[in-house]
Amino acid sequence: MAVQKDRNIRIDYGDPEVTKGVSVLSQQFDELYVYDGADLGLTYTPAHSSFRLWAPTASKAYVLLYSDWHSETPERHPMRRDVKGTWVLQVDGNLAGRYYTYLVQVGEQWNEACDPYATAVGVNGDRAGDCGSSDNKSEAVEGGAPAISPSGRCHQ
C-alpha cells in the first residue's frame, strides 16, 4: 500500500522576469526581497486607508473591497509595485465596516486571499476587516450566530 501518491501538480513560482531572474529558492532572493517595514497589511484612518502586501513573485496585485462580509461583488483596486517585493495602494475615504482581500497573479495563476496581517476578519476568516470603530465586539443575531460589528471583529 502506497502512502504517497504521485500527483501531477505544477507549482508556479511566477515569471522569472518579475524577480529579475532570481530563483525563489536562492539566498539571493531572500536578500533582494526581505522587507522589514512595520506597515504590512492595512493602515486605517477615517480619511484614507493604506494597504501594503508582500508578494515579490506576483506580476499583478489588487485589493478587492467588499461592502460587507457576504457581498459577492467587490470593487477592484489595482496595487502599485513598490520596494522589496511589496505592493501598495491608498484608498481615500472612510472604509470603516468594509471587508477586503488581496487578488494576485503569480505566473498564470490567480489567487485571492485574506490579509495575513489583518487584525479583524469576517465569517470563517475568508475576508479581512478593519478596526475603524471603537465597537469591535460581535453581536448575537437571530439563531445565535455571531454577527460582525460594522468594523469587523478585532483580535487584540
DSSP structure class, residue 79 = -
Specify which residues 126 forms β-bridges with: none
Residue 140 CA to chain centroid, in angstroms? Answer: 27
Reply yes or no on whether the pLDDT at 104 is more than 60. yes
Of the ranges 2-16, 39-53, 101-115, which one carries the lowest mean pLDDT score? 2-16
63-87 tens-digit pLDDT:
999 988 888 899 999 999 999 999 9
Q: What is the pLDDT, as a whole number, of residue 130?
A: 61
Cα distance between residue 89 and residue 135, in whole Å: 26
- In terms of phi and psi (left: phi > 0; alpha: psi -120 to 50; beta: otherwise), the region of 80 is beta
pLDDT tens for residues 11-35?
A: 667 777 888 888 888 899 999 999 9
Q: What is the pLDDT of residue 7?
A: 67
Q: Distance between CA atoms of 146 and 156, rounded to whole angstroms? A: 18
- Please report which confidence band the pLDDT of residue 2 belongs to, taking 50, 70 and 90 as the band edges: low
Residue pair 23/31 in contact (Cβ under 8 Å)? The answer is no
Q: Which tens digits make up the pLDDT trace of 30-40?
A: 999 999 999 99
